[in-house]
Amino acid sequence: MSVALRRPWTIEQFLAWEEQQELRYEFDGFEPVAMVGGTEAHAIIQSALLIAVGRRLNRPPCRILGSDLKLRVAGRVRYPDAMIICSPPDGRRSIVEDPVIVFEILSPSTARTDLFAKNTEYRATDSIQRYIILEQTHPEAVIFTRSGDHWLSEVVAGDTATLALPEVGIELPLSEIYRDIQPEATAEEVV
């Protein structure tokens, strides 16, 4: 018995198809992947991040954008939770290819993709100098920073921790992003 193998889509096929869809989809290099709804915590963190960075970002043409624009990276199409771009504005653009910093907010359903697949894709995109993964339940971030051909990582956590974004000349206290998030109790606290 023979089994027909599906052919992977091209980016061009995906982009033409997605334009006709009501919902948003990412492209994983093979096929469309539906974007699922998030939690209130995710929305609160994203909103606080956009406001906090936007208030501090005084380096034109750099600006922070939310998850409405597509990001084309390494033969894939993603919708990051936020990204900082420093190229001149183009009001007609719907696809970004040159962000400087990318943010994702971790959730149980996206953790593997954010930590591994997107990490690899973002590392392969030369313009991306920093990739920040924000926890959804408590003030903690995993930061990947480009250093030549390497991708260095560090974790910052806690109410007094600060996100340094030297590429755009700002620092951001984690407490400002998480001010409206109540930390979930850990197993040790419940016992």
Torsion of CA 126, 168, 65, 124, to 10 degrees: 10
CATH number for the domain that contains residue 63: 3.90.1570.10
Report yes or no on 60 lying in a domain.
yes
Contact 165, 128 (CB under 8 A): no
Domain count, the chain: 1
Task: Judge whether 153 lies within some domain.
Answer: yes
Q: What sign does the dihedral 163-61-54-138 (CA atoms) show? A: negative
Give a yes or no: residue 9 inside a domain: no
Residue 27 counted as domain residue: no
DSSP codes of every residue in the chain: ---PPPPPPPHHHHHHHHTT-SS-EEE-SSSEEEPPP--HHHHHHHHHHHHHHHHH--STT-EEE-TTSEEEETTEEE--SEEEE-SPP-TT--EE--EEEEEEE--TTTHHIIIIIHHHHHHT-TT--EEEEE-SSSSEEEEEEEETTEEEEEEEESTT-EEEETTTTEEEEHHHHSTT-PPPPPHHHH-
Q: What does pLDDT average to in each consecutive run of 10 residues of the chain (191 residues)?
A: 71 91 89 87 96 93 94 95 95 94 93 93 97 96 95 96 97 96 56 39
Instruction: Report the pLDDT value the prediction gives residue 63, as an integer from 0 to 100.
Output: 96
In a domain, 15, yes or no: no
pLDDT at 186: 41
> Is residue 136 situated within a structural domain?
yes
**pLDDT given at position 50:** 98
Domain residue limits at 159: 39-190
Would 6 be classed as within a structural domain?
A: no
Q: Is residue 29 part of a domain?
A: no
**What's at 165, amino acid-wise?**
L
